[in-house]
């Protein structure tokens, strides 16, 4: 019955679909942090921002923004003290000691207030 008029399978003409082989790759809409990191590292190694922009299909201003954010993150990380830093260990110990002394002082103040309200026989004074 008219097999010559039917399109061949995979020809791209069936059901109005276009062949996927001849189309250009779609631009990436969402970039994972890993892919962004790879692109930023290329920029930090000295590759031209214009070349990288053309190659990955991302605007120059956006690549510059990624690079700046990465540099800010690096700065922030390098400013942090490690937990093994002797200065930080001493500072933490001093903070703990200050906290303990502060609590002790507060408890002693409350005890003094209670003692001042009592008479010598240990009875509470009226507050009239």
> What is the tens place of the pLDDT at every residue in 47-91?
999 999 999 999 999 999 999 999 999 888 888 777 777 888 888
What is the rounded CA–CA span in Å between residue 40 and residue 45? 9
Q: In this predicted model, what pLDDT tens digit does every residue of 20-32 receive, in sequence order?
A: 444 555 566 788 8
What is the rounded CA–CA span in Å between residue 41 and residue 35? 10
Say if pTM beats, i.e. exceeds, 0.75: no
Phi, psi of 71 (to 5 degrees): -65, -40
Q: Are the C-beta atoms of 40 and 66 separated by less than 8 Å?
A: yes
| Among candidate residues 78, 52, 47, 79, the one with its CA nearest the CA of residue 63 | 52
Q: Which residues lie closer than 8 Å to 14 by C-beta, 6 or more apart?
A: 7
| Among candidate residues 97, 39, 40, the one with its CA nearest the CA of residue 70 | 40
Residue 124: strand pairing partners: 118
Taking the CA atoms of residue 64, residue 67, residue 72 and residue 77 in that order, the dihedral angle to the nearest 10 degrees is 170
Domain borders along the chain are 29-80
């Amino acid at each position: 019955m008219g097999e010559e008029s039917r399109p061949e399978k995979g020809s791209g003409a069936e059901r109005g679909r276009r062949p996927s082989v001849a189309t250009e790759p779609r631009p990436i809409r969402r970039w994972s942090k890993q892919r962004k990191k790879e692109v930023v590292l290329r920029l930090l190694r000295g590759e031209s921002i214009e070349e990288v922009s053309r190659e990955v299909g991302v605007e120059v201003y956006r690549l510059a923004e990624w690079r700046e954010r990465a540099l800010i993150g690096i700065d922030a990380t390098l400013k942090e003290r490690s937990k093994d830093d002797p200065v930080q260990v001493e500072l933490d110990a001093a903070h703990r000691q200050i906290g303990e002394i502060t609590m002790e002082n507060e408890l002693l103040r409350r005890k003094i207030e209670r003692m001042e309200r009592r008479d010598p026989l240990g009875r509470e004074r009226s507050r009239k």
